[in-house]
Amino acid sequence: MKKILLLMVLLLSLPAFARENIVIPPVNFQISTDHALSKFDQALLHPEEILKRYMPIGVKISNKRVTQNEISFIATKTYLFISKSILVNGILESSEVIRGCSREEVGYELKMHFESSDHLVTDNVEELQVLICLREENQSKITGQIRSQIITGSRYSYPTGPFAVSLIKDQVSPLLSAMTEAIKSMR
């Protein structure tokens, strides 16, 4: 019995050696503001305003700092009276893309890299990849879809891996809210 228990503990705590892509369900959205498409483009060229407005959910945040395309903060999660704090450092890269969207749409690829975060993050999550396909309905309204995936870290393991991935998955909606707020505040 002890051998079976030991084997189960080892299997649940060993890292998976192959990186995995975990697909997040798509999110549809619309933004209504003057010159919506050009403002969206400008917001992604200069993402500092988006990152300033971004407020992660599911964790308590402290020491948040934003510079250009980099965000860092201490995230604290409490589970059953136990609190754990980790440094999250993300670098956001964005570019316009042709592939992945239809001809009538404008595509953007965003990547959030976490390599200088605490090991609990980097072991389990390498990056968040986002494809945004936009359609300009008129000069003051765009509609779009966000398709995201998480690339797991090289030391992804149980039970911390699924927990870390779950927290990252939950951040797509707050990121969209921050983008929308930043775009609507532009003049």
The answer to whether the predicted template modeling score (pTM) of the entire model surpasses 0.85 is: no
DSSP letter assigned to residue 84: E
pLDDT of residue 98: 85
Sole residue written with tokens 């404008």? 106
Q: Is the pLDDT of residue 3 over 70?
A: no
Residue range 124-173, pLDDT digits in tens: 999 999 999 999 999 899 999 999 999 998 888 877 788 788 888 888 89
Residue range 65-107, pLDDT digits in tens: 999 999 999 988 887 788 888 899 999 999 999 889 999 999 9
Determine the Cα–Cα distance for residues 21 and 50; give it in Å rounded to an integer.
Answer: 25
Sheet holding 125-138, edge to edge: 21-32, 141-152, 125-138, 106-113, 82-97, 70-79, 60-67
Determine the Cα–Cα distance for residues 61 and 44; give it in Å rounded to an integer.
Answer: 24
Structural contact between residues 104 and 116, judged by C-beta atoms closer than 8 angstroms? no
DSSP codes of every residue in 26-45: EEEEEEESTTHHHHHHHHHH
Domains identified in the chain and CATH numbers: 14-185 (3.30.530)
Using the Cα atoms of residue 3, residue 9, residue 15 and residue 16 in order, give the sign of their dihedral. Answer: positive
Residue range 105-138, pLDDT digits in tens: 999 999 999 989 999 889 999 999 999 999 999 9
Q: Is the pLDDT of residue 184 over 60?
A: yes
Burial class (CB in 10 A: 0-12, 13-18, 19+), 116: middle
